[in-house]
Chain A
Amino acid sequence: MNEPLLRARGLTRRFGGLVAVDSVTIDVADGEVHGLIGPNGAGKTTLVNMLTGVDRIDDGSVHFAGEETTGLSSHKLASRGIARSFQTSQLFEDEDVLANVMAGRHRHLRYRFPNNVLFTPRTSREEKASLARCAELLETLQLADVAHRHVGELSYGRRRLVEIARALATEPRLLVLDEPAAGLSGADVDLLEAVLRDLSAAAYTILIIEHNIGLVMGICDRVTVLAEGAVLAQGPPAEVRVMPEVITAYLGRSAA
């Protein structure tokens, strides 16, 4: 069997007395869309923060693309090809949409200091290529018409799409999305689903936290269910959704 792209073993994160993530083991295979679901406060965001270097890892290990990456900082993981969006959007507020997305090209611009301070032909060439790629991404995410609008002026749904565009601009090997559909209108959810399908078809690997079960069932190859920090179930969505313990976790103990 192939080595999974992302392999996490026994990940644990404690906040004081609370064990937010409790020795979680999760594999994300190359090319799969992996759903991470679970009730509020289950530890999904915390787990993803650990996988992307945003939060500390108290225990356990992470391997990405065959190399150990436990405890690497966020920017190092990003340069190795992990990009993400945040549950509460983290955009560069004082900039326009295009500048936000162009920033995502950071790791692909190879020119050095002198080319930065004296805009040379090489700078111009690489910037043009970057711009072309970002234009493409904006078209894909239907953001081209607002390219020069400040992100603060955009609707909530479009802000989420800008964040995804910025993550995609890094050409990630693993795209991590934290509730991208939360708060989106029906049309925007459809657009998001279409985009994710296309990415999946283009062999992108995606780890997605999502509460919208319809979306999860529609696009995920496998899901991991988290409850109270621990893995409750793992497998194809159709199998997982009918497991009694999953139903219990979602409906609450009293309903069981």
Chain B
Amino acid sequence: MSTPKTTPATPDTRPDGPPDDDPQPPSFTAERHVAPRWVRWGVPVVLAIVAVILPFVGIDSAQQFLLAYMAIIALLAVSLHFLMGIAGLFSLGQAGFFGVGAYVGVVLMDKLGWDGAIALPLVAVAGALVGLLMALATLRASDLYLALTTLAFGFVGENVVRNIDYLGGAQGIAGFDLHFFGLTLDDPLLIYWIGLGCVILFGVMITSMRRSKLGRALMAGREGPVAARSIGVDTGRYRFLAFGLSGAFAAIAGSLYTAYAYVLDPSVFGLTLTTTVLTIAIVGGLRSLPGVLVAAIVLTWFRSAVDGEAVSEYVLLIYAALVVVTLLFLPQGIGGAMSTLVRRLANRKGRS
């Protein structure tokens, strides 16, 4: 047996800080990849570019609104993917963040008349603060209690705004004057681009985190809190971070939604929204960013396609059925199916 190259037990003097010497190239890579590097990088970049220039192919106003709505829902779904899939925190609080973002956005941009360039980052801060509060309230809770406590945040929010006249009470507020870098924020394409930008930013952040310390700490806390702490991960602290980051982006989605809908009422805190993104996250595959994005696009498209038709009454029922079918036949969701497919294709190519 080979002698382990174990450095003497004086850890604080070990080469663990910023490594100065060139590390030996290991015999394997950090992750097992089936697709070559240019595919892994090229495909997302090309898709992002396509998404950005998509509106220029000449689409009508209804389609523009659909794109904007897709971007908003995708952003919210990705925030849930991060919280539930990556950090493993089963939260039903996404509507809480969304609602807070919607109201804070309207107060800052409409009531106070601030530009979105300043207001949207502040909305993110507000969402993050609500996230921290949620983490604090659920510090020792897990699973069912965690889900119920986070759910309660939405109810509390809804009841608070219902009783504040300044925020329009139960009727809400209709018609605003919102601006983003001086442009009027009622153009669906502008909303789409902002939403898309946030999705891309958050997607890059999540992808990067999963390859580094923070993502691994979240993984450890998700897979085994006792073991995570035994290797020095302060699981409580990372919980705050997960809730904060998820809350920030979900709140921005809420703000964009008000601009999109042009009305704001307490229903933004509603359960329908939570159910929708939960369905998207599960159908897409909780751990898979591409899967969640695909599910967000497809389900949002489906929802708008059946709008006005008789089936639209049963959308939530259909969602529930989709969740059951997914859990039965594709426990890893669309994302899991996609990676299996890619692996099969790669194997086939490898053999021929």
Contact = CB atoms under 8 A, between A and B. Distances in A.
Interface in A98-147: 98-99, 102-111, 113, 115-119, 122-123, 125-129, 131-137, 139-140, 142, 144, 147
A119 B204 CA distance: 9
Contacts of B6: 140, 168, 198-199, 202, 204
A167 interface: yes
25 contacts: A75-B230, A75-B233, A75-B235, A78-B229, A78-B230, A83-B231, A84-B230, A92-B219, A103-B220, A106-B217, A107-B231, A116-B213, A118-B204, A127-B30, A129-B15, A129-B19, A132-B24, A136-B4, A144-B27, A148-B31, A167-B231, A168-B6, A173-B10, A195-B4, A205-B9
B227 A90 contact: yes
B23 A128 contact: yes
A172 B11 contact: yes
A119 B41 CA distance: 14
Interface of A: 30-31, 52-54, 73-75, 78-79, 81, 83-84, 86, 90-96, 98-99, 102-111, 113, 115-119, 122-123, 125-129, 131-137, 139-140, 142, 144, 147-148, 166-173, 191, 194-195, 198-199, 202-205
B223 A93 contact: yes
A153 B336 CA distance: 18
A199 B4 CA distance: 8
Contacts of A92: 219-220, 223-224, 227
A74 B211 contact: no
Contacts of A140: 2, 4-6
Given A90-B224, A94-B223, A106 B232 contact: yes
B150 to A, nearest CB: 23
Nearest to A79: B232
A164 to B, nearest CB: 11
A31 B9 contact: yes
A78 B219 contact: no
Contacts of A103: 216-217, 219-220, 228, 231, 233
Please indicate which of the listed interface residues A117, A132, A166 has the most CB atoms of chain B within 10 Å of its own CB. Answer: A117
Interface in B79-103: none
Given A94-B223, A119-B212, A75 B27 contact: no
A184 to B, nearest CB: 15
Contacts of B29: 131
Contacts of A94: 223
Nearest to B287: A94
Nearest to B224: A90
B333 interface: no
Please indicate which of the listed interface residues B14, B28, B232, B233 has the most CB atoms of chain A within 10 Å of its own CB. Answer: B232
A117 B205 contact: yes
A194 B228 CA distance: 27
A191 B16 CA distance: 27
B25 interface: yes
Smallest CB-CB A-B distances: 9 pairs:
A135-B26, A92-B223, A140-B4, A78-B232, A108-B16, A129-B19, A202-B6, A90-B227, A116-B214
